[in-house]
Amino acid sequence: MKKVVVCIGNYGSGKTEFAINYAINQSQLGNKTVLIDLDIVNPFFRSAFQKQILEKNGVKLIASKCALEYSDMPVVSAEVNSAFDSDYDLVVFDVGGNETGARALGRYRRQFASLKESLEVLFVVNARRPMSLTVKDICAAIKNIQEAACHNITGIINNTNLGRDTVADLIVEGDKILRKVTEITGIPVKYFTAEEEIIEELVRKHNSVCLGVPFTLKICTRPLWLDYKPDFAALQNDYRGDTRETERSF
């Protein structure tokens, strides 16, 4: 039976990173996989921009043509419908954050209803991002997204991180928050995620005390400009040099 996994989460949760990695992981396990970019909220970090790495790893990408040409236009590809009728083993949806993005799922209510147990809706949480800092914030987000999407969330992903400054202890902090969310909502934590060396540190230092299964991420969506470190001294010298030239010319 075809399996459908919907990845959803607030802005900055890392749900696109998880969706890409999950699709690639399943493809490498031998599952015929398609990833559908249904994110009509965030024009900057989208699965559609990672077509090359997805296809290199055997994952079919479905995204609106406008996702690349006019990235802020909320257009959904008609090809999405074909994914339900094809012979894919796994269909992964990357859905826009918050209830606004979740509404895009409403048009597929009929298809999802027929899937029953083979449908998973995973809510990705970064407990270090605004709107996800407290148990109250996360529970409210879950409630709003479920109502907008017309689907119940079946699992939570602990993707607590601070980018390059992420350490194992940070994920444990996120786990403590999400344990309380699980107690209140009854929704289990399915995975906790991080890059390989952090997962190894987490297992070594904490004996994998976090809820869920460890899931190793390979960062795909981080833009190069985030790692740019300008030489401020050189820039300052250039600025001073330009000033002297201007003064002499006048």
Structural domains in the chain, sorted by start: 3-224 (3.40.50.300)
**What average pLDDT does this structure show over 194-222?**
84
Q: What is the pLDDT of residue 151?
A: 86
For the chain, percent of residues with pLDDT exceeding 70: 76
Spatial separation of the C-alpha atoms in residues 248 and 241, rounded to whole Å: 11
Crossing angle, helix 135-149 and helix 168-185, to 10 degrees?
A: 60
Spatial separation of the C-alpha atoms in residues 112 and 4, rounded to whole Å: 8
pLDDT digits (tens, 9 = 90+) for 91-117: 999 987 667 777 778 778 778 877 877
What does each C-alpha distance from 216 to 25, 69, 191 come to in angstroms?
10, 32, 10
Q: Is the pLDDT of residue 243 over 90?
A: no
Question: Closest Cα to residue 135, out of 176, 89, 103?
Answer: 176
Q: Is the pLDDT of residue 61 over 50?
A: yes
Spatial separation of the C-alpha atoms in residues 206 and 187, rounded to whole Å: 23
Spatial separation of the C-alpha atoms in residues 193 and 65, rounded to whole Å: 31
